[in-house]
Structure 1
């Protein structure tokens, strides 16, 4: 189903949502279909209730920075809608100050801070390299918490 139809179906079931403003994205690296699908399904299943991104890279990528109250269509690796989330909280922290609770909310692997750091440091290093930007352990990380409102 295309994103427009998916959003219209959501709106017809949720008339309290008065705005048509929303975003759509895939989690993980574009083209990594296996990971894109895994992350989308973790969200749809309610296991993954948080995510994080490199704050510095929003200005370089032109991507819209999320904020509390935003609705986002989560896409799988084939760019198909999987669910819609509502952003509950969006805050920035230095990488090494991201909390145990946020690592748990991300719902990946053993859900520990140690695992979160291992995976995300690797991910952020690759993202920064793609923009020819130097990476360090104090980069600002945008930590989002959300809930699934439609699937």
Structure 2
């Protein structure tokens, strides 16, 4: 488990809001999260965002429910942290779809920017991850489980922001 530096995440959000006063911002800071279930995976996937190929992510609806978290919505922001819990990026959701894990398509697998960037690779890798996640929640993983398929853009800091 990674401990998020909440004070640093709040400071990053405030810096982003000050730099963009003309944009609509949530009243409260967005959630600060990390990719994966280990510091190594968090760093690896964060690097894929920073270097460019990763512009999508997916999570089981059950994971949001288990964490008592709201589902993302189009236009919502989140702060992405590294494997040490340090906030690194502010991202904004630009496309969302809820559907069975098995409904992932080639385009989404490619946009997630991981591994071979194919649907087959994506299903195999994510099934392994979600089996671990479901075991922690006391659930049995199935490809019929609902997932949130999310595309995002990086909006902060400026050197990493999408054009």
Q: TM-score, normalised by structure 2?
A: 0.85
Contact 1:85/1:147, CA 8 A, preserved across alignment? yes
SS in structure 2 at match of 1:108: coil
55-64 vs 116-125, which moves further: 55-64
Equivalent in the alignment of 2:34: 26
Q: Unaligned regions of 5+ residues in structure 1, if any?
A: none
Q: Unaligned regions of 5+ residues in structure 2, if any?
A: 1-6, 158-163
The yes-or-no answer on 1:53 pairing with 2:59 is: yes
Cα RMSD after superposing both structures = 1.4
Equivalent in the alignment of 1:112: 118
Q: TM-score, normalised by structure 1?
A: 0.92
1:128 to 119, 134, 141: 134
Contact 1:109/1:115, CA 8 A, preserved across alignment? yes
Equivalent in the alignment of 2:144: 138
What are the superposed Cα offsets for residues 60-79 of structure 1, whole Å, 9 maximum, x if unpaired?
22122111110111100111
Contact 1:46/1:148, CA 8 A, preserved across alignment? no
What is the CA–CA distance in structure 2 between the aligned matches of 1:18 and 1:140, rounded to whole Å? 30
What is the CA–CA distance in structure 2 between the aligned matches of 1:71 and 1:14, rounded to whole Å? 13
